[in-house]
Amino acid sequence: MLRGTAWLTASNFISRLLGAIYIIPWYIWMGSYAATANGLFTMGYNIYAWFLLVSTAGIPVAVAKQVAKYNTMREEEHSFALIRSFLGFMTGLGLVFALVLYLFAPWLADLSGVGKDLIPIMQSLAWAVLIFPSMSVIRGFFQGMNNLKPYAMSQIAEQVIRVIWMLLATFIIMKMGSGDYLAAVTQSTFAAFVGMVASFAVLIYFLAKEGLLKRVLETGDKINSKRLLIDTIKEAIPFILTGSAIQLFQILDQMTFINSMSWFTNYSNEDLVVMFSYFSANPNKITMILISLGVSIGGVGLPLLTENYVKGDLRSASKLIQDNLTMLLLFLFPATVGVVMVGEPIYTIFYGKPDGLALGLFIFAVLQSTILGVYMVLSPMLQAMFHNRKAIRYFFYGSVAKLVLQLPTIYLFHSYGPLISTSIALIIPIIFIYRELCRVTGMRGNVVFRRTIFNQFVNSCYVYWRRCYPVDTGICLPTKWAFVEFSICNSSSVPWVEEFMEL
């Protein structure tokens, strides 16, 4: 298990790192079109990410569970028959969703307020939607076999080849060719398909290398997967709805911001695309790293939470919730504050010197990442204890708030409006979910708050200490070791947090 965790952690880190670093040369080569190009790129990817989420419908997770079950029961042939059935089903599903995205691209582009410039970008992403569902089934198969190396290697291959393609294509078009930034963006999004082909090739290689490919193709066992498909989709619906909240809100921002701002203001369409890039596209590279790492840290105990709840051990379930949230906030708060404090240098590295609006929106989006991270950890906790209906209901409350507040906040705060409405819309389900978790497990509601306050007090003391005792006094380590000092301060505060919690 440790080896598998190490592989997945490494692949996630490398993928996120590449996804953040590539933007530096890409943005430079785009020249004066950089902000507009990044806005169009993100608009296409917002729709694409939602199509990927819906087209897989949680089935790869179900495949992993079923494969693990059959292998435990020593019925491996059923696993291979199941994979073959699902590969056919998911290939058909990918074809359907790819056609929908390709054919409806003009309509989606018009809804986004951009028009024809966005059409080829969305259509280039349809090819990736075609291949992703079947590829995800093979990943689920390896996960069910408890062999995560192929899974991780396929992720790394996908990202490496994608980044190489998009950077080469952008350089050739912008520096050696026509300089058509729309063509460069289209090739950059088409790179998602090229990366997935590479990922698929890696998975097929490992299937063949381990002698599994022939068994998948030749197994003669028949298995009725209809019941499994129905049950899987029923179970996946709550996770699709609640798990896609952030993506759905981003799509709503995309569909409403440019259209509504064109009613309220006299900004040109190009200016509005740049503003969209400022509050959505540009901050995403940093905020998603913070959120993904925070959620990985804060979500490690979800399987144990389900186990404790099923056993009726609510005290242990309560402690797990407290520990998970404390770990999340212990990482997210200092990381967020740190990024905000050096916001301008970080923004300059990725996107060049920012103006006041770009920097303000970037800082607001980074601060908002704490709210996003808390929601993404809390919602699965409620579903881990089989309260799916309430999770959907609370998600519905937040969605209604987002719809109601979207236009007024855009009218009052312009480009800050979508960020403000999203923050409020996510705080609402966070409050309801947290209260429900306290009710179900008997957890005291102020425990996490006290832990967080204590940890931040320790962090503040450290910052004050560093400012009062510079390196040349000999009391502090050199600045390059500041993170080590900071980690020691955080880790040493944990035992005291336990005592403080009981006050």
Encode pLDDT of 290-330 as tens digits: 887 766 665 556 667 777 887 888 888 888 888 888 878 88
Burial 81-91 (b: 16+ CB within 10 A, else e): bbbbbbbebbb
Is pLDDT above 90 for 113?
A: no
Residues 6+ apart with CB under 8 A from 387: 436, 440
Q: What pLDDT, in 10s, does the model give residues 17-52?
A: 888 889 999 999 999 899 899 999 999 998 898 888
Burial class (CB in 10 A: 0-12, 13-18, 19+), 380: buried
Q: Using pLDDT thresholds of 50, 70 and 90, give the confidence band for residue 80.
A: confident
pLDDT at 481: 45
- Count the neighbouring beta carbons within 10 Å of the beta carbon of residue 12: 16
H-only helix segments in 277-387: 282-298, 302-311, 314-341, 343-351, 356-384
Which carries the bigger pLDDT value, residue 448 or residue 255? 255
Is pLDDT above 50 for 480?
A: no
Distances (CA, A) of 154 to 7, 93, 109, 157, 328: 11, 21, 31, 5, 28
Query: What's the chain's length in residues?
Result: 503
Distances (CA, A) of 338 to 31, 39, 219, 333, 342: 29, 26, 55, 8, 7
Distances (CA, A) of 217 to 41, 174, 220: 38, 45, 9
**Mean pLDDT confidence for 82-106:** 88
Question: What is the domain partition of the chain in residue ranges?
Answer: 1-237, 244-443, 447-501
